[in-house]
Structure 1
Amino acid sequence: MKIGDIFVVGAESGKVIGASSIDDLFVDVPEAARLDGPIRDLPNHASEMAVERHMTALSRQNMTAGDGPFFLGCGAYKHHVPASVDHLIQRGEFLTAYTPYQPEIAQGTLQMLFEFQTQVARLLGTDVANASMYDGSTACWEAIGMARRITKRGKAILSSGLHPHYVSVAKTMAKYTGDVLDTAAPTLEAGTDLDRLIATIDDETSCVVVQYPDILGRTADLRPLADAAHAKKALLIAVVTEPVALGAIRSPGEMDADIVVGEGQSLGVGLQFGGPYVGLMGCKDKYIRQMPGRFCGQTVDADGRRGFVLTLSTREQHIRREKATSNICTNSGLCALAFSVHMTLLGEAGLRRLAEVNHAGAVAAADRLAQVPGVRLVNDSFFNEFTLDLGQEARPIVRALADKGILAGVSLGRLYPGEDALANGLVVAVTETTTPEDVDALATALGEVLA
């Protein structure tokens, strides 16, 4: 059989899926990223022990989050995860990321997801929350799709402060749904773009999407934006990439956001080279039937004993595809469990204290770094993440600091290639794992590199 034969559907050779060769299946991958042959300088075979030794040597070239002062953030944060979290999630009763197909038999899993929903709803300030999404970026897109179903409109206005990776995911999906996305890049200013968003809302708008705190770490009162959106019968979607912030600042639900989504990695889930993570989603009660994924509920059995059920499941595996709200096929169950265990260990008082420590450390770091000659603090409000204007391109500065053993932050030039107005920006994150010595090391090294 030739490779081309795999494209034949059925017995008739003329019925194909529309691809003349296997290369046609990869046309969306940029040509520069495609291989034109075997990987060069890689042996055709090696022993398992040789491969293990080689890969270990390669891994030692990495600088991990625990190897030195660490200030990276922008949607993935280094927090202390108690050892008990990892211990509990590895118990045999829990150690699966998959979803139960006979859910009512898996009472422990359902109870955990029920508690997870309760915690997320209280954290986001929403009436209800679902039983986990993939991650923050895809949850953001699911919210936009949800707004389209509710409003019967197809125009979404995205804040310039929304994480560019979230914007990229939304653009990718919108190509297939026809949604129109109104986007913009941020500016190195203290203020957010809420006034622009309010002025842009019209009768065709399905939703306004705003990150809180935003990609530069800025915070703002969302109530005027919610009022403006609702006046045009549009929805307000708030995106939270740092859930620890909600231990200190008002939740989006309290400011009348209709749908709140976010990334739950900060609680219970390590950085893990970018995943797997866990998406969060909550909304007002009246929109629950348009939520994607699953919703676990509490009930009693025939004998009056407390039990848990899969109350709502609108994903395509459980109902007819044309009726599904989403094609989510599994969930981030293990990461959701880690989130829930960490939240339970903290409790409300512990989360608020953790948030206070994060904010205090960030304030001290911002004050210290703003004293470095040539550095300007962009923010006048922030939680544990803020933006510095270095007065020159940030990317080579970040590389030079990495050579000194300091992971200084995320350069905006990396997030927004081609946006020259943002090239000097550096986003710095400070958590409870950051010590005063780390901040002093960054300030000293930054001064040396900028000199």
Structure 2
Amino acid sequence: MRYLPLTPADRSAMLDTIGAESVDALFADVPAEAQLDGPIHGLPHHASEMAVEKHMRRLSQRNLAAGDAAFFLGAGAYRHHVPASVDHIIQRGEFLTAYTPYQPEIAQGTLQMLFEFQSQLARLYGCAVANASMYDGSTACWEAVAMAARVTKRDRVVLSGALHPHYAEVVKTMAKFTQDEIADAQPAFQAQPDNAGLIARIDEETSCVVVQYPDILGRLPDLTEIAEAAHAKGALLVVVNTEPVALGALKSPGECGADIVVGEGQSIGVGLQFGGPYLGLFAVRDPRHVRQMPGRLCGETVDAEGKRGFVLTLSTREQHIRREKATSNICTNSGLCALAFSVHMTLLGEKGLRALALENHRLACLAADKLAQIPGVEVLNESFFNEFTVTLGTDARDVVRKLADRGVLAGVSLGRLYPQAEALAEGLLVAVTETSTEEDIDTLCAALTEILA
């Protein structure tokens, strides 16, 4: 039986109340090319439940799963091994079904987990305070920009050209509603990040400078130099990290002078999952900025009997309390993904994270060395963690498709990330993690040699 809760009269009354002529008017901000002009291609108009299941199963068989191929995709989402114990723990009923810990007396387990998560993240990022997670890395990046505007009372944002283009697009989309001025750029296709060019764009009206570490091409910018330049102009440094495993080997952003550190936590505890759900990370170095942070914080306290306990604290930042004064409209968090992150991080420990990072780097260096021996292939980077850029002498998009036909997911073409930038079309972003075996690297090199011959 179809479920139709609203009558045409109900819809008409709702549209009259909000002042919209039609339901279509509610989607006016969605570009026409992104809207469907009919049914979803490939799906039947009407079928039985069993027929739909069979059809969807046939469609799913066209997917090439990450574990079924030599896999070198990255660009913000990374394949790492997640221990089976992570999934076992997060599926315990008390974790899986809990929504949000508004009643601390019955949610001490969830609150303690989030408190431990915050503590782990603050240490990983080299910051004083972390919140209890956000939706994903790109929206966390925007929240950092909005927070910087509140702290500095300025509205000009300088984005590094080497910031992930999807993160930059989210910032620019949200800035349409806040009138923030976004100074954007494209990545300089060179071995080292263009720190001098970035610093030259900072002025006395700048609220923050947003830099990715490692950047979209896998390079490692000198954060200390950028932090000093930003602070000299009264601006904040926002550092974006899309690969938290890298911080097992690299100096933390907070140690380098970052004021706000945000990122994507998917790499630790959360599988690729065809794109989500993921986990937004957010921390600040200066505890004086804590009241300007978005999202929720879990704090440690004592109860009436003096026993240790946990509560949500400083909740006026969230839109469900004093909405007109809230710093953000975020009123929940990716709690299950944060739990997975925290469980995996606990299993690794500091030594385990460092060992994992070093193995990632070792395999990435091995892959870079072997790829550099292929005629026509050049490695762009002078330094990297587990991701680097190569140039192929031809459009990388075509090469990626041919390699996929051979069962090799070779990387992300820069032409896909920057479709309007012809100068980047020959670039291929290659990510190598502990799940990439030396045999996989040899398979990639052999297939690429054949295609480029």
Range into which the TM-score falls when normalised by the shorter chain:
over 0.9
The question of whether the paired residues in 1 share the 8 Å contact of 2:119 and 2:130 is answered with yes
Render the CA deviation track for 1:208-255: whole Å, top value 9, x for unaligned: 000000000000221111111111111000000000000000000001
The question of whether the paired residues in 1 share the 8 Å contact of 2:390 and 2:430 is answered with yes
Q: What is the rounded CA distance, in whole Å, between the counterparts of 1:4 and 1:206 in structure 2?
A: 49
The question of whether the paired residues in 2 share the 8 Å contact of 1:261 and 1:281 is answered with yes
Where does residue 352 of structure 1 map in the other structure? 354
Where does residue 255 of structure 2 map in the other structure? 254
Where does residue 3 of structure 2 map in the other structure? none
The question of whether the paired residues in 2 share the 8 Å contact of 1:386 and 1:428 is answered with yes
The correspondence for 1:327, drawn from 326, 329, 337, is: 329
The question of whether the paired residues in 2 share the 8 Å contact of 1:217 and 1:383 is answered with yes
1:127/1:38 CA distance change after superposition, 3 Å: closer
Render the CA deviation track for 1:83-103: whole Å, top value 9, x for unaligned: 000000000111147322223
Q: What is the rounded CA distance, in whole Å, between the counterparts of 2:241 and 2:183 in structure 1?
A: 20
In the TM superposition, residue 48 of structure 1 has moved relative to its aligned partner by 1.7
1:339/1:250 CA distance change after superposition, 3 Å: same
Partner of 2:266, secondary structure, is coil
Structure 1, 220-229 or 147-156: larger mean CA deviation: 220-229
Is 1:314 aligned with 2:316? yes
Where does residue 86 of structure 2 map in the other structure? 85
Letter matched to residue 355 of structure 2: R
The question of whether the paired residues in 2 share the 8 Å contact of 1:158 and 1:181 is answered with yes
Structure 1, 232-241 or 303-312: larger mean CA deviation: 303-312
Where does residue 378 of structure 2 map in the other structure? 376
Where does residue 280 of structure 1 map in the other structure? 281
Is 1:190 aligned with 2:195? no
Where does residue 341 of structure 1 map in the other structure? 343
Where does residue 267 of structure 1 map in the other structure? 268
Render the CA deviation track for 1:308-347: whole Å, top value 9, x for unaligned: 1112223444421121010013210000000000000000
Partner of 2:95, secondary structure, is coil
Structure 1, 39-48 or 233-242: larger mean CA deviation: 39-48
The question of whether the paired residues in 1 share the 8 Å contact of 2:74 and 2:412 is answered with yes
The correspondence for 1:293, drawn from 286, 289, 295, is: 295
Where does residue 166 of structure 1 map in the other structure? 167
Render the CA deviation track for 1:79-131: whole Å, top value 9, x for unaligned: 00000000000001111473222234310010000000000000000011001
The question of whether the paired residues in 2 share the 8 Å contact of 1:98 and 1:331 is answered with no
Q: What is the rounded CA distance, in whole Å, between the counterparts of 2:102 and 2:57 in structure 1?
A: 39
Render the CA deviation track for 1:127-172: whole Å, top value 9, x for unaligned: 1100111000000000000000000000010001100000010011
Q: What is the rounded CA distance, in whole Å, between the counterparts of 1:342 and 1:74 in structure 2?
A: 22
TM-score by length of 2: 0.96
In the TM superposition, residue 424 of structure 1 has moved relative to its aligned partner by 0.4
The question of whether the paired residues in 2 share the 8 Å contact of 1:388 and 1:425 is answered with yes
Q: Residues 27-426 of structure 1: matches in 2 within 5 Å?
A: 27-39=28-40, 42-96=43-97, 98-283=99-284, 284-426=286-428
Q: What is the rounded CA distance, in whole Å, between the counterparts of 1:215 and 1:353 in structure 2?
A: 24
The question of whether the paired residues in 2 share the 8 Å contact of 1:395 and 1:413 is answered with yes
Letter matched to residue 414 of structure 1: R
Letter matched to residue 154 of structure 1: D
Structure 1, 369-378 or 24-33: larger mean CA deviation: 24-33
Letter matched to residue 259 of structure 1: I
Render the CA deviation track for 1:276-329: whole Å, top value 9, x for unaligned: 001111102111000001111111112221111112223444421121010013
Partner of 2:390, secondary structure, is strand
Q: What is the rounded CA distance, in whole Å, between the counterparts of 2:314 and 2:12 in structure 1?
A: 38
In the TM superposition, residue 30 of structure 1 has moved relative to its aligned partner by 2.8
In the TM superposition, residue 435 of structure 1 has moved relative to its aligned partner by 0.4
In the TM superposition, residue 194 of structure 1 has moved relative to its aligned partner by 1.4
Render the CA deviation track for 1:164-193: whole Å, top value 9, x for unaligned: 000010011000000111111112211112
Letter matched to residue 448 of structure 2: L
Identity %, equivalent residues: 70
In the TM superposition, residue 31 of structure 1 has moved relative to its aligned partner by 2.4
The question of whether the paired residues in 1 share the 8 Å contact of 2:371 and 2:445 is answered with yes
1:42/1:128 CA distance change after superposition, 3 Å: closer
The question of whether the paired residues in 2 share the 8 Å contact of 1:97 and 1:331 is answered with no
Q: What is the rounded CA distance, in whole Å, between the counterparts of 1:169 and 1:3 in structure 2?
A: 35
Pairwise CA RMSD: 1.6
1:250/1:20 CA distance change after superposition, 3 Å: same
In the TM superposition, residue 35 of structure 1 has moved relative to its aligned partner by 3.4
TM-score by length of 1: 0.96
Letter matched to residue 258 of structure 1: D
The question of whether the paired residues in 2 share the 8 Å contact of 1:104 and 1:310 is answered with no
Letter matched to residue 117 of structure 2: F
Q: Which runs of 5+ in 2 are unaligned?
A: 1-5
The question of whether the paired residues in 1 share the 8 Å contact of 2:296 and 2:318 is answered with no
Q: Which runs of 5+ in 1 are unaligned?
A: none
1:39/1:278 CA distance change after superposition, 3 Å: closer
Give the number of aligned pairs: 447
Letter matched to residue 313 of structure 1: S
Structure 1, 25-34 or 440-449: larger mean CA deviation: 25-34
In the TM superposition, residue 256 of structure 1 has moved relative to its aligned partner by 1.1
Letter matched to residue 394 of structure 2: Q
Q: What is the rounded CA distance, in whole Å, between the counterparts of 1:402 and 1:7 in structure 2?
A: 49
Q: What is the rounded CA distance, in whole Å, between the counterparts of 1:141 and 1:379 in structure 2?
A: 28
Q: What is the rounded CA distance, in whole Å, between the counterparts of 2:272 and 2:98 in structure 1?
A: 17
Where does residue 428 of structure 1 map in the other structure? 430
Letter matched to residue 159 of structure 1: S
Q: What is the rounded CA distance, in whole Å, between the counterparts of 2:409 and 2:167 in structure 1?
A: 23
Q: What is the rounded CA distance, in whole Å, between the counterparts of 2:42 and 2:384 in structure 1?
A: 48
1:298/1:363 CA distance change after superposition, 3 Å: same
Q: What is the rounded CA distance, in whole Å, between the counterparts of 2:393 and 2:42 in structure 1?
A: 42
Partner of 2:374, secondary structure, is coil
1:37/1:213 CA distance change after superposition, 3 Å: closer
Q: What is the rounded CA distance, in whole Å, between the counterparts of 1:29 and 1:303 in structure 2?
A: 55
Q: What is the rounded CA distance, in whole Å, between the counterparts of 2:10 and 2:26 in structure 1?
A: 14
Partner of 1:391, secondary structure, is coil
